[in-house]
Structure formats: C-alpha cells, structure tokens
C-alpha cells in the first residue's frame, strides 16, 4: 500500500537526486573551463587542491580522488581510465606524465622537481629549483604511500609496492618494493613460465 509518507519520501529523494546531478554538472562545467583539458566522464572529487589549472590535462574516465593535490610548475598530463588515491600529491617541474589505466593507492607522492642541494654555501630555497621529467607508462599500479622521485621513468605494466621510495627507473612489467625500491620480480616472466 502506498502511503502519504512513502510519496513524500520519494519526492524528497527525487529532488535530492536532481540537486546532486545539478551540482555535478556545475562542477564539470567549472573544471572544463578552468583546466587545460578534461575528457569525458572524468571526475574531480571534493577537497582537491589544484594550482595553475591550465597546466593540467586529464583524459577520459579518470577519477581525481578526494584530497589529491595537483601542483604544476610544468605540465601535469594524466591519461584516461586513471585513479589517484585519496590524499595523493603530484608536483611537476618540467613535465609529469601519467599514461592510461594507471592506479594510485592512497597517499602516493610523485615529483618531477627537486631543490638544488649542490652548494652548501648558498641557501637551498633561494636557488632555482631543478625541473625534470617524470614519466609513468600505461597500466601501472602504484601502492599506497609510495613515493616516486623526480626524473624517474616507470615502464608500462609495472607495480610499485606500498610504501616504496622509487629512486631509479622501473623496468616495464617489474614489481618493485622497499626503500629504496628494488625489483622483486618481473610480471612478464611469471606469465611466460
């Protein structure tokens, strides 16, 4: 039996749904105007920190999770079908490029910029920063709280273990873990065994 109260709740539910869809639409329009590029069905969740939005390009079906920080000095290019973990931080110097189908666990940090520590007689923070290129290939999984340092290339299909600090290039399809990150094994060899 349909009661008055059921009707009332259905109407409230419908109104809430319309409001949510409208807010989503306004957010999409906002980001489409202010970002360098954002592809279709990509989502920027709440609480995201974005500086220099025109230097950021995001492909299709990508989720920039809540509390992610995107800080470009140089361009940040994120491919399609990617997800950034909650609370991840991306700071780009020359370029920070992320392929398609790349997934970051929560709390990851990826940099393509360094402070200049070479001369002990001058203040590090007063010197120009060192801008580099950090490139992450397609189909990479970066575990929670991993750190990828500036200038690193991560080959396609690689896995970065939770908590790893990546200081050297990561070969395609390898699994790296630890601090500093070392190759645990290669996914390709597992498949061909």
Residues belonging to the active site: 115
The token pair at 180 is 């500093």
Asked whether position 36 contacts ligand COA by CB under 6 A, the answer is no
Contact assessment for residue 148 and residue 166, using Cβ atoms and an 8 Å cutoff: yes
Considering beta carbons, is residue 59 or 85 the nearer one to ligand COA?
85
Give the helix/strand (H/E) hosting 8: helix 4-34
User: Other CB atoms closer than 10 Å to residue 5's CB: what's the count?
Assistant: 8
Q: Report how far residue 162's alpha carbon sits from residue 60's, in angstroms, rounded to the nearest whole number.
A: 26
Asked whether position 163 contacts ligand COA by CB under 6 A, the answer is yes
Q: Binding to ligand COA (CB under 6 A): which residues in 86-125?
A: 105
Asked whether position 178 contacts ligand COA by CB under 6 A, the answer is yes
Of 159, 166, 173, 174, which one interacts with ligand COA (CB under 6 A)? 159
Return the range that interacts with ligand COA (CB under 6 A); candidates 3-11, 21-29, 109-117, 160-168.
Answer: 160-168
Considering beta carbons, is residue 75 or 163 the nearer one to ligand COA?
163
Residue (of 129, 65, 133, 124) closest to 95 by Cα position: 133
Residue (of 29, 77, 37, 78) closest to 54 by Cα position: 37
Asked whether position 66 contacts ligand COA by CB under 6 A, the answer is no
Asked whether position 143 contacts ligand COA by CB under 6 A, the answer is yes
Asked whether position 162 contacts ligand COA by CB under 6 A, the answer is yes
Task: Find the shortest distance in angstroms from Cβ 63 to ligand COA.
Answer: 12
Query: What is the pairing mode between strands 49-50 and 69-72?
Result: parallel
- Cβ neighbours of residue 147 under 8 Å, at least 6 residues apart? 108, 109, 110, 111, 164, 165, 166
Asked whether position 171 contacts ligand COA by CB under 6 A, the answer is no
Size of the residue set binding ligand COA (CB under 6 A)? 11
- Positions in the binding site for ligand COA (CB under 6 A): 105, 143-144, 159, 161-163, 175, 177-178, 184
């Amino acid at each position: 039996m349909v009661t008055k109260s059921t009707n009332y709740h259905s109407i409230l539910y419908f109104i809430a749904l319309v409001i949510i869809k409208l807010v989503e639409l306004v957010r999409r329009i906002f980001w489409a105007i202010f970002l360098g590029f954002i592809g279709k069905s990509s989502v920027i969740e709440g609480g995201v920190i974005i500086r220099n939005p025109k230097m950021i390009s995001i492909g299709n079906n990508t989720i920039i999770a809540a509390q992610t920080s995107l800080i470009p000095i140089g361009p940040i290019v994120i491919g399609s079908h990617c997800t950034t973990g909650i609370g991840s931080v991306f700071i780009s110097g020359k370029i920070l490029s992320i392929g398609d189908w790349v997934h970051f666990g929560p709390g990851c940090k990826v940099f393509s910029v360094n402070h200049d520590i070479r001369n002990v007689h001058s203040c590090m923070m007063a010197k120009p920063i060192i801008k580099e290129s950090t490139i992450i290939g397609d189909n990479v999984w970066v575990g929670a709280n991993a750190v990828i340092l500036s200038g690193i290339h991560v080959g396609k299909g690689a896995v970065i273990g939770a908590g790893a600090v990546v200081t050297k290039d990561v070969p395609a399809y390898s699994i790296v873990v630890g601090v500093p990150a070392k190759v645990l094994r290669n996914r390709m060899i597992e498949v061909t065994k």
